[in-house]
Amino acid sequence: MNPDDQSLIAAAPSRGLFSQEAYTQYEILAPGTEQFAITYLLESTTVGATTISNATRAGSEGTNISVFDPRTGQPLKFTYEEQPNGDHAIKATLNSPIPQGGIGRVLIYKTYKDARTYQMNGDDLVWVRSLAGYRLGVVLPKGYAFTSANVAAQMSTTASGQLKLAFASPSGASNNLTVHAHKTAVAFQPITFTDMFFDDMKTLYTLDAPETGKINVEQTYSDTRKGTSVTLNQLEYMAVNDLKVVDLDTAKVLVPVKRGDSASVPLDVPITSDKQSAHLRLTGVINDGTYRVENGDLVFQRTVRGLRNTIILPAGYEVSAVSQSGTIGRAQDGRVFVALVNLNGENSYRVTIRARK
């Protein structure tokens, strides 16, 4: 390798089991303003922390800032201060310290002004930005249509008739997005496909020794359905033993209430507004024949659901085949994992993974 060729510097081995931990939506505002409104839902796992910070990107001027608690939907106190390097950062104060086994989160609304990102060429707009590997949405101003967009994305029309892109990077690397858009007289009718990238569900399958057929499953997700309880729809497609459900905002264990073949968990804070959600972690053990030994191979063959699914192999096993596109890495304990990111509109797909010792 030529040390002068910076394009060939090797990346470190993959260690992260999941990417796309935060969701960001950019709504491009009226032409000439150089502004775009941002909705940002981010998390922190720092136990004991009482604040979560979000820095304004260099060159962007932040205004119209508000911060909310996604659990209650109520405003949170925050400051917007200049940092030693000249940039600014939002520092939100949580209602309580992040508990052991829990996750802190905040919902931020803000507006950026950045002439480098948002430019006009006559009546045509150009929006260009390097977007970190999160789950992302970009909304055009009303009365505009896409001329081009260089990142593969789901597209829909909002209730207000604005065109929206939704996308993510399979590897979690940055998306260097350039959007060209032009004025149009077309009145777009709402076509609201489910934004599959807003869905934060991630499922971790940790495989036990192959001869046991056991899979330890951990699924983390947010549920936005209004009500005083949350139905555990996962149990319709996962036969889970030793079921445990935790409220990640508080680390409190929630006791499932069974009704026939379904089950739900009660919420301490009912969901009544669009700013709220329940943040849950479901764990248990699966032993349903989808993991077995076949001709000396470890075989994991299962229909998985949601955007992100990661499978960790037992110690000493090397992956030999994966039927769906995925990234390969090694967990902190040295075990091989396969991380799948579903970029298709369908919520479920079948995957086969084979490995040998």
Q: How far apart are CA 284 and CA 240, in angstroms?
A: 5
Provide the token pair at 215.
């899979």
Rounded (5°) CA angle 5-6-10: 105
Q: Which of 21, 57, 24, 42 is nearest to 98 (CA)?
A: 42
The whole-angstrom separation of Cα 351 and Cα 355 is 13
Query: In Å, how far are 20, 70, 242 from 275, measured between CA atoms?
Result: 20, 6, 32
DSSP secondary-structure letter at 235? G
Is the distance from CB of 204 to CB of 283 less than 8 angstroms?
no
SS3 (DSSP) at 346? coil
Q: What is the pLDDT of residue 1?
A: 46
DSSP 100-167: TT--EEEEEEEEEE-TTTEEEETTEEEEEEEE-SSEEEEEPPTTEEEEEESS--EEEE-TTS-EEEEE
pLDDT of residue 349: 94
Residues facing 291 on adjacent strands: 300
What is the residue extent of each domain of the chain?
Answer: 23-183, 202-356
Contact by Cβ (8 Å): 306, 201: yes
Q: Which of 3.60.110.10, 1.10.150.120, 2.60.40.1730, 2.40.50.180 is the CATH number of 23-183?
A: 2.60.40.1730
Assigned fold of 202-356 = Immunoglobulin-like (2.60.40)
Reduced to 3 states (helix: H, G, I; strand: E, B; else coil), residue 190 is: coil
Helix (H, G, I), strand (E, B) or coil at 6: helix
Q: Which residues of 209-229 are buried (b: 16+ CB within 10 A; e: fewer)?
A: ebeebbbebebbbbbeeeeeb
Residues in the chain: 357
d(C-alpha 258, C-alpha 265), whole Å: 9
Q: For every one of its 357 residues, what pLDDT tens digit does the chain have, with 9 covering 90 and above?
A: 455 666 677 777 888 888 878 899 999 999 999 999 999 999 999 999 999 999 887 778 889 999 999 999 999 999 998 888 778 899 999 999 999 999 999 999 999 999 999 999 999 999 999 887 689 999 999 999 999 999 999 999 999 999 999 998 777 778 889 999 999 999 999 987 888 899 899 999 999 999 999 999 999 999 999 999 999 999 999 999 999 999 999 999 999 998 877 899 999 999 999 999 999 999 999 999 999 999 999 999 999 999 999 999 999 999 999 999 999 999 999 999 999 999 887 889 999 999 999
Identify the pLDDT of residue 58.
77
Is 202-356 the same fold as 23-183?
Answer: yes
